[in-house]
Amino acid sequence: MRAAFDALGFWTDVAAPDAVGGDDASEGANARYRAVFISDLHLGTPGCQAGPLLDFLKAYPSQTLYLVGDIVDGWQLRRRWFWPQAHNDVVQKLLRRARKGCKVVFVPGNHDEFARGFAGHHFGGIEVCHEAVHTTADGRQLWVVHGDHFDAVIQCAKWLAYLGDNAYELTLRLNRHLNSLRARLGLPYWSLSAYLKLKVKKALNYVTAFEQAVAAEARKRGYQGVVCGHIHRAEMREIDGTLYCNDGDWVESLTALVEHHDGRLELVQWHGAHQHAPRRAAAPVVA
């Protein structure tokens, strides 16, 4: 597994020059946001929106940054090597964050499960752990976990998950061609795979079951909420008194969960440096 980190740039000399620049004066203790949660970047695949992600990270400096799984897509990289400079720039940006005082926590998912063997270790200042607990400014404890352990397909029929992953990649390729045509026609971006998910009843049932299972486990463990990824569907809502937060992905939705300094949690969707907008916000608990 060390070889995997070497190849992907995680095992890096922390004194090496940065591939990307930027003013990091506001990162760490004096950062604009208390915490940022992102997941499902899928670095190593053509679908990864590395450019917008770099812009987002520059616009959203934080005291703590949680990488909530599927940061690197080991499944796809085993089939076909794809690692452009922009993906390396993302890794360098994350390492730079850690060097500049931001606490960076990496909770591996199923696509980067090779990293689970490094739980308890630090790489370039990035802490790797199976799961984490984040305490908000207003005292709520949030369980941070990727969420694949609550996916029956992953647990019971991994071959089916690989098959679904291939189908998803095909849909993304079709989506890129479709949106190239839409761009030439002056039309906005439109996600084919997201549309298909919303139209398929079984997919909706799967999402609902997943959300309820994750929230129930968080409640059983005594946490006030949970932050996860995995299903590529950004959402923030209460389920039987437990706050369920999914920070979405950086393949289609370009979403993240952020915590303000007063403990307020907010889902944001990135539309560009001057167009980022909140998806949904949860007010802090008032004592």
**pLDDT band of 206, cuts 50, 70, 90:** confident
Q: In 3-state terms, the chain is what percent helix, strand and coil (to 5)? A: 40, 20, 40
% pLDDT > 90, the chain: 60
Q: Could you count the other beta carbons within 10 Å of the beta carbon of residue 89?
A: 18
**pLDDT band of 279, cuts 50, 70, 90:** low
Q: What is the dihedral of CA 74, 79, 84, 88, to 10 degrees?
A: 20
Angle 120-113-131 from CA coordinates, rounded to 5°: 45
- Measured CA to CA, the distance from residue 277 to residue 190 in angstroms comes to 17
Map out the domains of the chain as residue ranges.
2-282
Q: Which residue has the higher pLDDT, 182 or 283?
A: 182
In this predicted model, what pLDDT tens digit does every residue of 21-55 receive, in sequence order? 555 556 777 789 999 999 999 999 999 999 999 99
Q: What is the pLDDT of residue 169?
A: 63
Q: In the chain, which residue ranges form alpha helices assigned H by DSSP?
A: 2-8, 50-59, 74-79, 85-99, 152-156, 158-184, 192-199, 201-220
CA 222 to each of CA 95, 105, 127, 144, 204: distance values in angstroms, whole numbers, following the listed order: 33, 22, 24, 13, 27
- DSSP secondary structure letter of residue 43: B
Q: What is the pLDDT of residue 45?
A: 95
Q: Which residue has the higher pLDDT, 166 or 61?
A: 61
Burial class (CB in 10 A: 0-12, 13-18, 19+), 33: buried
Spatial CB neighbours of 24, under 8 Å, sequence gap ≥ 6: 61, 96, 97, 100
- Measured CA to CA, the distance from residue 88 to residue 108 in angstroms comes to 18
Determine the average pLDDT of the residues in 252-279. 86
HSE (side-chain half, CA atoms, 13 Å) at 250: 31
Q: Could you count the other beta carbons within 10 Å of the beta carbon of residue 129?
A: 16
Q: In 114-242, which residue ranges form alpha helices assigned H by DSSP?
A: 152-156, 158-184, 192-199, 201-220
| pTM recorded for the entire structure | 0.77
**pLDDT band of 106, cuts 50, 70, 90:** very high
Angle 75-81-84 from CA coordinates, rounded to 5°: 115
- Measured CA to CA, the distance from residue 144 to residue 20 in angstroms comes to 28
Residue 287, pLDDT above cutoff 60? no
Q: Which CATH number fits domain 2-282: 3.60.21.10, 3.30.465.10, 1.10.1740.10, 3.10.20.580?
A: 3.60.21.10
Longest dimension (CA), the chain: 53
Question: 26-30, 65-69, 152-156, 169-173 — which one is most confidently predicted on average?
Answer: 65-69
**pLDDT band of 207, cuts 50, 70, 90:** confident
Q: Could you count the other beta carbons within 10 Å of the beta carbon of residue 106?
A: 25
CA 136 to each of CA 37, 56, 57, 113: distance values in angstroms, whole numbers, following the listed order: 13, 22, 20, 27
Determine the average pLDDT of the residues in 230-242. 95
Residue 198, pLDDT above cutoff 70? no
Residue 186, pLDDT above cutoff 90? no
Residue 1, pLDDT above cutoff 50? no
* Average pLDDT in the chain: 82
Question: Which tokens belong to 149?
Answer: 């352990």
